[in-house]
Amino acid sequence: MIEPYDDTYFMQKALQEAEAAFDRDEIPVGAIIVTDNRIIAKGHNLTETLTDVTAHAEMQAITAGASFLGGKYLKDCTLYVTLEPCQMCAGALYWSQISRIVFGASDEHRGYRKMGTQLHPKTQVSHGILAEECSKILDDFFKARRRLN
Amino acid sequence: MIEPYDDTYFMQKALQEAEAAFDRDEIPVGAIIVTDNRIIAKGHNLTETLTDVTAHAEMQAITAGASFLGGKYLKDCTLYVTLEPCQMCAGALYWSQISRIVFGASDEHRGYRKMGTQLHPKTQVSHGILAEECSKILDDFFKARRRLN
Q: Residue A35: beta bridge partners?
A: A38
Which domains, and CATH codes, for chain A? 7-143 (3.40.140.10)
Q: Does B89 touch chain A (CB under 8 A)?
A: yes
- Per DSSP, the residues of B57-89 read HHHHHHHHHHHHHTSS--TT-EEEEEE---HHH
Read off the pLDDT of each residue in B8-29 and give the average, rounded to a whole number: 98
Partner-chain contact B91 A94, CB within 8 Å = no
> Is the pTM here over 0.90, yes or no?
yes
Residues of B with active-site annotation = 58
Return the pLDDT at A132. Answer: 98
Residue B120 is assigned to a ligand binding site: no
Mean pLDDT, chain A, whole residue set? 96
Say how far residue A4 (Cα) sits from the centre of its chain.
Answer: 21
- Pick from A59, A66, A117: CB nearest B51: A66
How confident is the model over B89-117, as pLDDT tens digits? 999 999 999 999 999 999 999 999 999 99
- Please give the Cα distance from B55 to B44 (Å, whole number): 8
Partner-chain contact A92 B62, CB within 8 Å = no
- Please give the Cα distance from B19 to B26 (Å, whole number): 9
- Contact between B18 and B26 under an 8 Å Cβ cutoff? The reply is no
Q: Does A86 touch chain B (CB under 8 A)?
A: yes
Interface size A-B, in CB pairs within 8 Å, comes to 97
Q: Does A71 touch chain B (CB under 8 A)?
A: yes
Q: Does B118 touch chain A (CB under 8 A)?
A: yes
How confident is the model over A61-75, as pLDDT tens digits? 999 999 999 999 999
- Please give the Cα distance from A93 to A47 (Å, whole number): 19
